Amino acid sequence: MFDFFSKRREQKALRDEDDKALFVQRYKAFREVLNANNEVLLAMADMQEKASGAFIFDQAYVRSAYDTVSNGIKRIIHNLNELADGKYKHLIVPYQKTDAAIRSHLTARVSIPKTGYVISLQDLKKEDMAAAGGKCSHLGELGNVLGLPVPHGFVITTYAYQSFVQHNQIQGLLNEKTEKLDIRDYEALQVASKEMQALVMESEIPEALETELLNAYRALCEETMRDDLMVAVRSSALHEDIMASFAGQYATFLNVPVRDLLSKYKNVLASQFTPRALLYYKGKGFAIEEMAMAVGILTMVEAKVSGILYSRDPTDPKEDVILINAIWGLGAYAVGGKVPTTNYKVSGETGRNLSDEALGCQDVMLVMDTESGTKEVLVPEELHSKPCLTDEQISELASVARRVEAHFGQPQDLEWAMTQDGQFYFLQSRPLRLATKGALAGERRPTVAKEHRILLDKGTIACRGVGAGPVYVVQREEDLIHFPEGGVLVMRHTPPEFAALIQKASAVVSDIGNVLGHLATVAREYNIPAMFGTEKATQVLSNGMQVTVDAIYANVYEGIVEEVLKKKEAEDSLEPSATLKQLREILQMITPLNLTDPRSPSFSPRGCKTLHDITRFAHEVAMRAIFALSKESHFAERSTKQLVSGVPLKWWVIDLEDGIAEGVKGNKVRPEEITSIPMSALWEGMTALPWKGPPPVDTKGFMSVMFSATTDPSIDPAVGRQFADKNYIIVAKHFCNVSTRLGFHFSTIESYVGDEENQNYISLVYTGGGADPGRKSRRADLISRLLEKFDFHVEKREDTIFARLEGYKKDFLEERLKVLGHIIVHTRQMDMVMYNDAMVDWYYKDFLKGMKSLVDIPE
């Protein structure tokens, strides 16, 4: 199969070099092809699972997942050519073509447009995200397209941010510091964070930007007919709420006077570099250039009641309900989980309130203050017994939720405020982060797992699912560094600062908090089971305690409860997001498989239309290449050890890598000293049952053998010395190649068996025999039937058999190698007695009867 062998072997023979080094090099390349192929297939499978719509992910995931696939394909191509001496170098062409097409989808990054430094909110729509960021562009859409009441205001654009960093020449420093960050080193992260925030805060605002900003503020005062207008200064980063939630990661300042406007603007810019924001976007895989910050300047709404509005239940998006939560005062306490909320569940069809629940008494609320911006005050006594919202107001909010959802084509998460006179204002709308939904089809497990101690049985589900692990109670941001991977995050409140822990947690439990807060949003983004409002989790649960969190039926159990830990079947959300659509588009260039038949003329590099085609082609030809390499190799005596066994055959063993036990010296090896997993299984099958010897041969059979031996030029005259030929066994820990010449027939068995079932295979070529073509063909029929009985894919051409079994677990293939070993040994010379088809049937049944003591016979 490989042209290079002939010339190289001649040169090597003259120099008396050992062929083993070349084989070891090629075997390692072969193993790398298998490893890379496995990684690529796993990544593809994960992308396909995400593309089902049952999971939350962002564009950073799509890029990262594709990078895994792309890098794996490059490794496959490189190592395949190492194995095959450059024979498949043209395989790079379809890869490069497909990669370029996919990259064109992925690298269509949002570029910062050249605009003014400020844009009025009245001029914004969702298409203006590149200039105004996700939050403000969506807010503009609510007001200017849907006609919903939103605050007056303007946005300081991403172009203004770009001008700010360029004017102060700090972009390079920010890039350098973020590129070097190791988010696992929290102390170093804190140091870098302080340095980057200081860079921003110590920079000056360009004069032209300052002038335009203050002019816009004065215009806003005129528009609202109010002097010394107090405003909210809110982040609106380039990808905020669109590619990822960034819930609670950036700064917001309320009730800001004009004298503080410039400094608060810089504070919001600097909030991109807080430890929690750096942890979040570094973990998401975003680059610093993609984090350009726009800032919204909005008139303050002096809220009597505030809250959050979900157009769907994030734990059950198929149910036609709307969720509303409400608190007295400004909404910062609602999104931050600072106080108990009143929660309403509303019918999406009728707008009627189906149920409401006060999660405790709200004792304090946040209000506007001329001195400090905001302050905490006691909730007036008369409001304690009064509902936050009337039925009419609930119905009005529900109607808005459905309108906004229909407009954006997917469930929405809105923030709202209501003034003293009952006027609603909508402050934000973003895609609702949905949790994986549903239980296993046909699941019948009870609400409570009997005979297991329940530690907590009260709480609100923020993200459905189950998780288990050691408890870790987090009280402050400094605890981030010590939080264990897979721990159960337990806390009193649900501050967004703890969002960085979510992806490491197996579950989240809090005393206080609500399902519509920032931390709940992040939990659903990572699909981490979460229970809030348990009231006493931090009292009952202690560090190191093993618990199981059932965030389906709101129970926390002592210990690991296996019957609760079941995977949940997911369902689609209403409409695919832009990122989900992007993933599905690139998967059309990744996962379809066109190369199905290795015998087809199109099974070539030119026939590869997708990346999956490339993996299929490379895997197939890699096995051919290693197979041919072992067949063509000639090993020097010093590279081999003679196998010493009771079998009357001469075997020579070549160890490539960990195929023979350590410490075996000399030129001989015993079967029990072979540590190769597939070879050990094969040898067990070859020797488990004694060979009865050749079957009785009739006169015609004997004459057939003699005639074939004298007329077939392919048969070496030396074959008469039946057991004089060398039989090579090439072994590694997970690999073996066994080339045998037993009498008149030849076989090569090759297998790779490891823990990754995608890599595992058995391959067989079996040919020859001493009888006439008819008898040899019948013997091949017998072997084919036996192999097919044991799950092999078999192709028979006259008296030659090609058989393959791949993609199974280790234990299964070990059993099949035993079967193969038995068949190879016990069918030798059987061609002599295959004088009619009845003999094939008789021996087929006899073989199965004999193998019952060796392996389980498939039904």
Residue in the block written with tokens 């890599």: 759
- Lateral strand order in the sheet of 761-768: 668-669, 641-643, 651-657, 727-732, 735-742, 745-752, 761-768, 800-806, 793-797
Using CA atoms, how far apart are residues 700 and 832, in angstroms rounded to an integer?
9
Structure tokens given for 669: 């090896």
Q: What is the pLDDT of residue 358?
A: 79
Using CA atoms, how far apart are residues 772 and 832, in angstroms rounded to an integer?
8
Long-range pairs of 377-384 with CB within 8 A, sequence gap ≥ 24? 377/329, 379/328, 379/329, 383/328
Sequence letter at residue 693: G
Whole-angstrom CA distances from 611 to 43, 293, 603, 619, 622 are: 12, 37, 14, 12, 16
Residue in the block written with tokens 């026939």: 607
Q: What is the pLDDT of residue 470?
A: 96
Q: Collect all residues with Cβ–Cβ distance below 8 Å to 833 and sequence separation of at least 6.
A: 695, 696, 697, 698, 701, 775, 839
Cβ(310)–Cβ(323) under 8 Å? yes
Using CA atoms, how far apart are residues 344 and 357, in angstroms rounded to an integer?
7
Q: What is the DSSP string of 386-418?
A: S-SS-HHHHHHHHHHHHHHHHHHTS-EEEEEEE
Q: What is the 3-state secondary structure (H, E, C) of 476-487?
A: CHHHHHHCCCCC
Below-50 pLDDT ranges, the chain? 1-6, 9-17, 241-245, 436-445, 567-574, 696-725
Using CA atoms, how far apart are residues 304 and 433, in angstroms rounded to an integer?
27
Long-range pairs of 121-127 with CB within 8 A, sequence gap ≥ 24? 121/150, 121/151, 121/152, 121/153, 121/154, 121/155, 121/296, 121/298, 124/155, 126/408
Cβ(817)–Cβ(808) under 8 Å? no
Using CA atoms, how far apart are residues 629 and 84, in angstroms rounded to an integer?
9
507-510 and 488-491 strand pairing = parallel
**Neighbouring C-beta atoms of residue 15, cutoff 10 Å:** 7
Using CA atoms, how far apart are residues 280 and 249, in angstroms rounded to an integer?
8
Q: What is the pLDDT of residue 488?
A: 95
Nearest to 681 by CA among 506, 822, 776: 822
Q: What is the pLDDT of residue 746?
A: 74
Q: pTM (2 decimals)?
A: 0.52
Q: Catalytic: 518?
A: yes
Running DSSP on this structure, what letter comes out for residue 603?
-
Nearest to 338 by CA among 519, 182, 468: 519
Residue in the block written with tokens 């794996």: 72
What is the gyration radius of the CA atoms in the chain, in angstroms?
35
Nearest to 246 by CA among 182, 187, 294, 196: 294
For residue 549, the cross-strand partners are 467, 556
Structure tokens given for 809: 């677990």
Using CA atoms, how far apart are residues 122 and 458, in angstroms rounded to an integer?
45
Long-range pairs of 701-707 with CB within 8 A, sequence gap ≥ 24? 701/771, 701/775, 701/832, 701/833, 701/835, 702/832, 704/770, 704/771, 704/772, 704/775, 704/832, 705/744, 705/770, 705/771, 705/832, 707/772
Using CA atoms, how far apart are residues 367 and 372, in angstroms rounded to an integer?
10
Q: What is the pLDDT of residue 661?
A: 92
Q: Give me the helix-helix angle, 92-106 and 578-587, nearest 10°.
A: 170
Q: What is the pLDDT of residue 378?
A: 93
Rounded to 10 degrees, the C-alpha dihedral 272/277/280/283 comes to 70
Q: What is the pLDDT of residue 635?
A: 61
Nearest to 322 by CA among 387, 404, 248: 404
Using CA atoms, how far apart are residues 672 and 680, in angstroms rounded to an integer?
8
Rounded to 10 degrees, the C-alpha dihedral 433/439/445/448 comes to 10
Q: What is the pLDDT of residue 697?
A: 44
Structure tokens given for 385: 């017994």
Residue in the block written with tokens 């077939």: 712
Using CA atoms, how far apart are residues 854 and 41, in angstroms rounded to an integer?
34
Nearest to 309 by CA among 136, 429, 140: 429
Q: What is the pLDDT of residue 569?
A: 37
CB environment 306-318: b (16+ within 10 A), e (fewer): bbbbbbbbbbebe
Sequence letter at residue 530: A
Q: What is the pLDDT of residue 651?
A: 81
Cβ(360)–Cβ(375) under 8 Å? no
**Catalytic residue among 518, 612, 734, 826, which?**
518
Q: What is the pLDDT of residue 707?
A: 36
